[in-house]
Structure 1
Amino acid sequence: MEHRYRIGEIVELKKQHPCGSKQWEITRVGADFKIKCLGCQHQVMLPRPKFEKSVKKIIRSLEEDL
């Protein structure tokens, strides 16, 4: 079963950002994803297939907060 990503979730990507962080917050979901680096606050837009391929694990899911 595939995971439905939501705004506000924290994910860990496979590759490290140049600032040293691997953790990103999802700020936009759709055909493209907008994610914000939790290390340096840099924001990036990625197409959905590239984003889903680069996610290693979900650090904090919104379902955990319910």
Structure 2
Amino acid sequence: MGDKYSLRDIVQTKKGHPCGSDQWEIIRVGMDFKIKCLGCGRVVMLPRSKFEKSVKKIVKKVEDDSQE
């Protein structure tokens, strides 16, 4: 429960993607993170340590209590 990042969160990275966007949607969480560029749709898989170093801030946090 102490995880900082969760599925469907939108994060901003320190460096931008070559397409010009710097915002990514998290689509897999674990030892590796899979993120999708919101500019071009490219999917990238990163180790947790590299992902956490590259994130500048969480732009949009997903609410967990919407399980109806």
Note whether the superposition's TM-score is higher than 0.5. Answer: yes
Unmatched tracts of structure 2, length 5 or more: none
Q: CA RMSD in A?
A: 1.9
Normalising to structure 2: TM-score of the pair? 0.87
More helix by share: 1
Q: Look up the SS of the partner of 2:36 in the other structure.
A: strand
- The number of residue pairs the alignment matches comes to 65
Q: Structure 1 CA distance, aligned partners of 2:10 and 2:3?
A: 13
Measured against aligned partners, the alpha-carbon deviations of 1:1-41 in whole angstroms (never above 9, x if no partner) come to x7521000000000010000000000000000000000000
Runs (4 or more) in structure 1 with deviation over 4 Å come to none
Rg bigger for which structure? 2
Aligned to 1:51: 51
Q: Structure 1 CA distance, aligned partners of 2:60 and 2:31?
A: 22
Aligned to 1:19: 19
Q: What is the CA distance between 1:48 and its match in structure 2?
A: 0.1
Normalising to structure 1: TM-score of the pair? 0.90
Q: Structure 1 CA distance, aligned partners of 2:47 and 2:30?
A: 9
Aligned to 1:4: 4
The percentage of aligned residue pairs carrying the same residue is 66
Q: What is the CA distance between 1:62 and its match in structure 2?
A: 1.2
